Every structure is written in C-alpha cells, then in structure tokens.
Amino acid sequence: MCTQPMDMRAGMDTAMAQVLKAFGSIKPHCAYLFCHKRGHRMKELVHDGLGIWLCVRRLERGKFHWFQVHQGETISLSSEQLQALIQGLPWQRIGQVQVVSML
C-alpha cells in the first residue's frame, strides 16, 4: 500500500512507474495499492507471475479506510487485511489480538 495519492486517470505505464518509485521493484505474486485523494477510489497493480494487470475499484458510498502515515511510506498487508480494505471495511484491526481481562 502506498500513501501517495494516485490520479485515477493514470494508465498502466504511469501506475508501473509510481510502483517502481514507491516500492523499488514490481515483484511477482504481489499487489500494489494506491488510493484516490478523496478516498473512494482505489487502484491495484498486480503481478500474478505471468503478467501485470491494473484494477480500479470505486465505492458508491463511504471511503476506503486508508492508513494515515507519513508521505512516501509504504505498508504491507496480510491477505485478510487486503480483502477487508477492498470491501471498504476498517482493515487496521484485523489480526490484532483482542485480550479481555477481568478487572
């Protein structure tokens, strides 16, 4: 996941250049996520081991729960977190152990 917003008019070549700038390389079996400034559109560049494809997802209502970090930083997500993010769910809490103790 990249924190730098991407222009949703960007095509494959521009998306690949932004992935190379943010991540340094495009690795097989990895997905690279970029969000629109307003947060309701997301682009995903995927290298599936055979080729590279570009996907765009737009939410009709609400926004993607994008991580707030310093400009230019990147974040790795688990497959469960990725699925939650794509569905527009708050993915940041997935995988955290929620301990309940008696007071």
Domain for residue 56, yes or no?
Answer: yes
Domain for residue 103, yes or no?
Answer: no
Domain for residue 6, yes or no?
Answer: no
Count CB neighbours of 1 within 10 A.
22
Per the structure, the count of domains in the chain is 1
Domain ranges, residue 21: 12-93
Report d(CA 7, CA 9) in Å as an integer: 5
Q: What is the per-residue pLDDT across 9-67, written as a single tens digit (0 to 9) for each?
A: 888 898 888 888 888 889 998 888 888 777 778 888 889 989 999 988 888 887 776 76
Domain for residue 100, yes or no?
Answer: no
Which positions ≥6 away from 55 have C-beta within 8 Å? Answer: 43, 44, 46
Domain for residue 44, yes or no?
Answer: yes
Domain for residue 101, yes or no?
Answer: no
This prediction has a pTM of: 0.66
Written as six digits, the tokens of 89 are 């769910």
Domain for residue 30, yes or no?
Answer: yes
The dihedral built from the CA positions of residue 51, 27, 4 and 60, taken in this order, carries a sign that is positive
